[in-house]
Structure formats: C-alpha cells, structure tokens
C-alpha cells in the first residue's frame, strides 16, 4: 500500500513520468519488498535483544542510503565496495525503478533475478537460523 501511495504521489503530484507499465512497477516494488523483508527477518533472528535488532537495522538502513546508488553512482565506488552495494536489495530496486519509470523499459533485466535471489537467500538463511534457535531451545 505504501508503495502504491508513494508511486501515485510521484506521478500525480510531483509529475515524475511513468513511461513503463504499472504491472511491472508493481512487480519491481514487490520484489524489492520481498528482499528487504528478508533482511529484516534475518536481523530479527540474529539479534539477541530488541536494542541490538534496532542497531543492526539502522546499520543496514545507513548502508542502503549511502551505498545504493541513490547519493553517488555505484560505479564510482571501489571494486570491493561495489560488491557490498550490489548485495543490498535497494541498489537493484533503485536502478530498476529509474529505468522503468524514466526510460520505459528495464535495460538490466538480470537485476530482477538478483532481487529474487537476494530474497531467497535471505529467507533461506533465516530459516536455517530459526531451525538452529529452535533446536538449541529443546
């Protein structure tokens, strides 16, 4: 719902063009949400306390803002930092939404697969961590 509201405000109020289809816009937003929620789930399973979970979430948020290509282009980063940047779902989400909305087509369709893969890996890691927690509680 939040993505729909923000998207409608971007197009309707701010006049940002949506040259691509609404369906693909929704698909990209859903993939981005899927992968980002995977990060949150993994953080909640790694953290020992609520305070630690909040701190880890803030670190991921800061990394997402500074290393996603939103502030500086990812191509300007050192090679090792590009690896970190491309490990963040928001890096792919920003690039895909920019391409789709402003150019009308996704020129890097591999990023859709990467977003899905990041989400699957994060959910699989969360499942493994949850199983470990449950088995140690027995």
Q: In this predicted model, what pLDDT tens digit does every residue of 83-132 receive, in sequence order?
A: 989 999 999 999 998 899 888 888 888 999 999 999 999 999 999 999 99
pLDDT of residue 12: 85
Mean residue pLDDT across the chain: 90
> Within a 10 A sphere around the Cβ of 105, how many other Cβ atoms?
11
With cut-offs at 50, 70 and 90, classify the pLDDT of residue 69: confident
pTM, two decimals, is 0.84
Residue 73: other Cβ atoms inside 10 A:
8
Higher pLDDT, 138 or 71: 71
* Structure tokens that stand for 98 in this block: 């920019």
């Amino acid at each position: 719902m939040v993505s729909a509201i923000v998207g409608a405000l971007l197009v309707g109020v701010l006049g940002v063009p949506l040259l691509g289809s609404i369906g693909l816009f929704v698909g990209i937003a859903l993939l981005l949400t899927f992968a980002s929620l995977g990060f949150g789930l993994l953080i909640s399973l790694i953290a020992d306390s609520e305070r630690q979970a909040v701190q880890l979430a803030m670190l991921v948020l800061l990394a997402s803002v500074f290393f996603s290509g939103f502030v500086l282009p990812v191509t300007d980063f050192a090679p090792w930092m590009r690896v970190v940047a491309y490990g963040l779902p928001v890096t792919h989400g920003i690039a895909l939404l920019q391409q789709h909305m402003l150019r009308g087509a996704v020129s890097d369709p591999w990023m859709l697969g990467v977003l899905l893969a990041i989400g699957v890996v994060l959910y699989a890691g969360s499942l493994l961590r949850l199983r470990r927690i449950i088995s140690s509680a027995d």
